A and B are shown apart, each in its own frame.
Chain A
Amino acid sequence: MSVKHGLLALLERGPMYGYQLRAAFESSTGGTWPLNIGQVYTTLSRLERDELVRPLPENETGQRPFEITDLGHAELAKWFASPVSRSDRPRDELAIKLALAITTPGVDVRAVVQTQRGAAMRTLQEYTRLKTDVGDLPWLLVLDSMIFQAEAEVRWLDHCEASLVRYEAPAAQPVDADLPRDAEVPR
């Protein structure tokens, strides 16, 4: 998501000036994406240059509000109608780290998986705790998005662990019949 489209969406509610836009943006994203005021004004001047917003006369406190133009409405509608491309997201460091762990001698891959899973689980616990105090729907949905992403990471790590067990199986040594061994727990 770009700040540009975020500000256009906020201006769709009605004219706002810079500080109002910054506060509304942070409130809409539950503070997960802090903006500095410089970013807001830089983006507003680009939006004005592209005729997506226009400035209004200063109010009595000297603040200049901006309103969305017809071109801005059209741009916003186009943005809402387009999916967010996965290719725009950064590389998945975790997947690469795990792939390297498997091929690096002496690394306990299951420990790497568990360390990550524990961290993801703690994150998930904290998001869930925050959820109990939130009544505001937009912020709840942002929080839910983070919860589902953290859950997806845990599920993927579960899958990795199960795959590791299967992957290691062919390399296991034959069981010595004279030694006690631990059988798998039947389901």
Chain B
Amino acid sequence: MSVLELRQVHRTHGTGATIVHALRGIDLVVRTGELVAVMGPSGSGKSTLLNLAGGLDSPTSGEVVVDGTVLGSCSRKALAALRRRKIGYVFQDLNLLPSLTAAENVALPLDLDGVRGSRKQALDALSEVDLNGYGDRFPDEMSGGQQQRVAIARALIGERTLVLADEPTGALDSQTGEAVLRLLRSKVDAGAAGMLVTHDARHAAWADRVVFLRDGRVVDTSGPLDQPEELLRAP
């Protein structure tokens, strides 16, 4: 089932001689259980694409559809609610609120919607990312990897169907970064859909598909090999 769909999406900034074409006619579908990585050089439109997919920006033309809802047809209030309920974000700089505990950070999207039992759900979500017993810790009492796991728990709490990650491993060391990606992968396998923007090919390799952008266009897409066992044959 398609969770995210971009249909002929264009995004330009400025007008006339100073116009910048950030995205030019992007068509992309991300389905349930699928993780798609977006790669490309700086300025290729990766972050613009992620912002449009998350309803944080609007296309100049074309449509962005999340879980069956055309974002452009939503009121601001409806869009905010959809972002809160359906879309999870994981950013490089985490965006955890320092004055809230891990459990409070994770429960925040539910609290904003007045959901009962949000703390229990938050503790369950923390447990799922191997942070059992960390609910009452503040972000500055946790390591970078633990904080990133809190951010992932927050991104996936409730009925989120789409998780969007922008360089989610940031400055984490290679092992911790890999643990974060394994977690993202397992969450997607468990029934979400994911889009991951990254410069790092090793991280993009956790995705089912890798979309390459250049100058605002998709120039290539790489999927699985037909016969992966061939890779293990000696030359």
Contacts from A to B (Cβ < 8 Å): 30-34, 114, 117-130, 132, 146-148, 150-151, 154-155, 158, 161-162, 177, 180-187
Are B228 and A185 in contact (CB-based, < 8 A)? Answer: no
What is the CB-to-nearest-CB distance from B10 to chain A, in angstroms, rounded to a whole number? 12
Instruction: Establish whether residues B201 and A120, one from each chain, have CB atoms under 8 Å apart when the complex forms.
Output: yes
A interface footprint on B200-227 (CB within 8 Å = 1, 0 otherwise):
1110111110101001100111111100
Q: Flag if B234 contacts A124 (CB, 8 Å).
A: no
Q: In the complex, what distance in Å separates the CA atom of A61 from the CA atom of B110?
A: 69
CB < 8 Å A-B pair total: 97
Contact between B43 and A185 (Cβ–Cβ < 8 Å)? yes
Q: If the complex has contacts A150-B201, A184-B43, are A127 and B210 also in contact, measured as CB distance less than 8 A?
A: no
What is the interface size of chain B, counting residues whose CB is below 8 A from a CB of the partner?
A: 41
Q: Mark B51-77, 1 if CB is under 8 A from A, else 0.
A: 000000000000000000000000000
B92 on interface, CB distance cutoff 8 Å: no
Q: Which of B18, B182, B202, B210 contacts A148 (CB 8 A)?
A: B202
Distance in Å: Cβ of A108 to nearest Cβ of chain B: 12
Whether B225 pairs with A126 at a CB distance below 8 angstroms is yes
9 closest A-B pairs by beta carbon, nearest first, are A154-B201, A185-B43, A124-B205, A128-B205, A126-B228, A121-B222, A151-B202, A118-B222, A125-B205
Q: How far is the CA of A186 from the CA of B20 in the complex (A)?
A: 8
User: Do the beta carbons of A180 and B220 come within 8 Å of each other?
Assistant: no
- What is the chain B residue whose CB lies nearest that of A162? B41
Chain A residues, Cβ within 8 Å of B19: 180, 182-183
The proximity string for B residues 1-40 relative to A, scoring 1 for CB distances below 8 Å and 0 otherwise, is: 0000000000001100111111000000000000000010
